[in-house]
Chains A and B, each alone.
Chain A
Amino acid sequence: MSRIGVFICHCGENIGATVDCEKVAAAAAKIPGVVHSVDYKYMCSDPGQNMIKEAIREKNLTGVVVGACSPRMHEPTFRRACEEAGLNPFLCEMANIREHCSWVHEKGDPTTEKAIDLVRVIVEKVRRNKPLVPIKVPVTKTALVLGGGIAGIQAALDIANAGHKVIMVERSPSIGGHMSQLSETFPTLDCSQCILTPRMVEVARHANITLHTYSEIESIEGFIGNFKVKIRKKARSIDMKACTGCGLCSQKCPTRKIPSEFDAGLGTRPAIYVPFPQAVPNKPVIDRLNCTYYLKGKCRLCEKVCPTQAIRFDQEDEIVEADIGAVVLATGFEIKHGDFFPEYGFGKFKDVIDGMQFERLASASGPTLGEIRRPSDGKKPETVVFIACAGSRDPAKGIEYCSKICCMYTAKHAMLYRHKVHGGNAYIFYMDIRAGGKMYEEFVRRAIEEDGVKYVRGRVSRVYEREGKLIVQGADTLLGAQPVEIEADMVVLATAAVANDGAEELAQKMHVSYDAHKFFAEAHPKLKPVETNTAGIFLAGACQAPKDIPESVAQASGAASKVGALFSQDELTREPVIAVVNRSAPPLYSTCVGCFLCQAACPYQAIEREEIRTRDGKLIKTVAKVNPGLCQGCGTCVAVCRTKAIDLQGFSNEQVFAEVMALLDRSEPDAGI
């Protein structure tokens, strides 16, 4: 007979205000096999945990049910408490009467009744729980950092400096990310490249970091501490060892009119190119989609001029395999481009540009060498209109969130423009100014008060051309929605920050959750901002949500410290939630009939064949066997098994059927409720 203890938590008012906890505890006490049932204000507190420990010792409990918050929150807490009192931790389960009950329903009998149901279900489950032993697995102390922007760089350096190996994978030919494209940074106006490039170089020469640029993740499998990753190194068409980065090939390449990705389409580059002068690695790549040789079969001029014979036209993609223990996702963001704003004339008028293009115009390494010249005719614009929230906070455009960085970079753009074009007029159309952050508000004030940037509160309805000028039509809502019309020479759109191209596909490969906008989801919005729902995979930077540089760096260091904590252990323990195939005495040996439907269903190739033989080697039966090292405990095999020979520890058939029955059975002993 089981001796189960039930502990109902009030969680202060969180549960207690809507659920009658005393009533729940009293109802639970009537369930056969429950020998102890109490309620308490904070079960997770020290006195609360001690109540559980004492009850285990005094009443010799064989199972513990804690009716409190989500098991995703406090299951480890209570299981540890049980273990400390000498009860196998897997005999403790939680009934979620907070997230699934008190927080989502109104106060009243139906809510209390539901809480009782939820507790009864878990009591019936725990009654059938078996003591389990955690599985120990080794930890591979190498981290994979995906993305070589500032977040990835920071995470990689922090992990590498802690003494662990890092593999960094970057999709483009150079690391540096968006930060390398920026001119100056808010709120200090210090040069972006000047602070970034030393770190890029540090990554390249760090003994603990292996850098794979122009590479992508092909596949990843495994689990925390023990992932196996395949990296596709795309053919660069260059022998990286032979190339000295002299740049002669780029100078001689006859295909020169390709819009430069680095210059956000404002400048051009040849078909064999180094993305930007400080690129890491500073070696070129052949853009096969635009190279004359790959398109027409002749040219090979770069091969002729290369002094070290480093050009490899026949190079193929290479797959590199690696064992890793943790992953930091730092794949960054993208800004909305193009036809998103037909009313603002983006793509129609050359002088309507996006924020990244303005960064390149203002950058000393940009196509105009830092002079603000409009793209259409190269003239200095006398009036520039900046439109904030171009797409952001606009449910009609499908982006209801705030892109967070635009208020600040728009203020910066207007300031840079005023510094570079004396006497120019800068207007900013805005919805609200969001300048939360150290020295941020002061920065915006400086733009307004010292640099004379004119802020107009209101939306722009339309941008059109009239006699060589861009007419910006909007409304000033501080003047009672009075129509405003500004004749501008250039318009800069602070377009929404969106998830990177391929973010969804990557999330699916990595098995991490993502939100409706394809930003990766953190494990808890407040308390686990760098973890994902998949153990061993962490987040850094704008791949989680739009972020500025200091926030990205802080989160990257946070992710790195999580990786460091993981790597400080030589062995991890894993929950023994795995499938097992039953075994019984001869002549049956197992109810498994050897159909191996489970083998086809298993996503981890964890099902093996086991031959049962007589002493003299005669085959009696071939049955399935689960490899506990590979099994991840999804239980798909259990659902397909025809003879119910395979079962999942912790979610066994006996348990789940008992749960369903208990859930719906409101008769005795709860008739009094």
Chain B
Amino acid sequence: MPEFEPRIVAFVCNWCTYAGADLTGTSRIKYSPNVEVIRFPCTGRIDFMLLLKAFAEGADGIIISGCHPNDCHYTSGNFHARRRWILFRGLLDFMGIDVERVQFSWVSAAEGAKWADVVNTTVEAVRKLGPYENFRKIDRAGAV
């Protein structure tokens, strides 16, 4: 049986993590192709309903990454994201959603190697957890 290849969606900010992931490329540091990036201006823009949408559409894991605290291009967007994530995480956990599948991280524009590391660690972790079929079952049940 072939090894399970998780599909992971990364929501990243334009100024730190997107640029950091560009640097990973410029530095030719290899990482797992299981992660695909969607660009936002700021982590503050990320509506956490997108996480549920991603799980519903078949994602097995999610990475959210932006600027380090105090480094936000827009001063405080990353703090808003962090605060909202703490609340939302509690809610997801309560609802029985596997919050371990969501990796919240900070990768700056100068941290190309860290981005590769975040991706690889998350892919390995999610690979161990297996496909997130439970969520899709719930979602389908709810839709009926």
Contact = CB atoms under 8 A, between A and B. Distances in A.
B73 to A, nearest CB: 5
A370 B116 CA distance: 52
Given A106-B30, A110-B33, A664-B9, A98 B25 contact: yes
Residue from A100, A634, A635, A648 whose CB has the most chain B CB atoms within 10 Å: A634
A104 B28 contact: yes
Contacts of B84: 639-640
B30 A634 contact: no
Interface string A52-76: 0000000000000000001111000
Contacts of B46: 639
A508 B79 CA distance: 14
A638 interface: yes
Contacts of A106: 30
Given A114-B36, A515-B110, A634 B41 contact: yes
Contact of A111 (B33, B57, B76, B80): B33
A110 B31 contact: no
Contacts of B15: 513, 533
Contact of B72 (A118, A511, A601): A511
Interface stretch (A339-347, A461-469, A654-662): A654-662
Given A507-B71, A635-B40, A660 B57 contact: yes
Interface string A626-660: 00000011111011100000001001010011011
Contact of A651 (B9, B33, B41): B41
Interface string B32-68: 1110111111101111101001100111000000000
Interface in B11-29: 15-16, 18-19, 21-26, 28-29
Interface residues of A, number: 54
B38 A656 contact: yes
Contacts of A415: none
B4 interface: no
A252 interface: no
Contact of A577 (B7, B41, B75): B41
Contacts of A525: 23, 26
> Which of B7, B75, B84, B108 gathers the greatest number of chain A CB atoms within 10 Å?
B75
B109 interface: yes
Given A100-B22, A514-B110, A525-B26, A636 B74 contact: yes
B5 interface: yes
A651 B31 CA distance: 27
A522 B138 CA distance: 47
Contacts of B33: 101, 104-105, 110-111, 113-114
A665 interface: yes
Contacts of B53: 657, 660-661
Contact of B45 (A121, A511, A635): A635
Contact of A648 (B41, B59, B80): B41
Interface in A84-103: 96, 98-101, 103
A529 to B, nearest CB: 14
A638 B44 CA distance: 9
Contacts of A651: 40-41, 45
17 contacts: A72-B19, A100-B21, A101-B33, A103-B25, A105-B30, A105-B31, A117-B36, A121-B38, A511-B73, A533-B15, A632-B74, A635-B44, A636-B45, A639-B84, A640-B80, A651-B45, A664-B9
Q: Which 5 pairs, one residue from A and one from B, show the smallest C-beta to C-beta distance? A: A99-B25, A635-B45, A636-B44, A634-B74, A103-B25
Given A96-B37, A663-B38, 20 more contacts: A70-B18, A71-B39, A96-B22, A100-B25, A103-B24, A104-B33, A121-B38, A513-B108, A515-B110, A577-B41, A633-B41, A634-B42, A634-B45, A634-B74, A635-B44, A635-B45, A636-B42, A638-B45, A639-B81, A651-B41
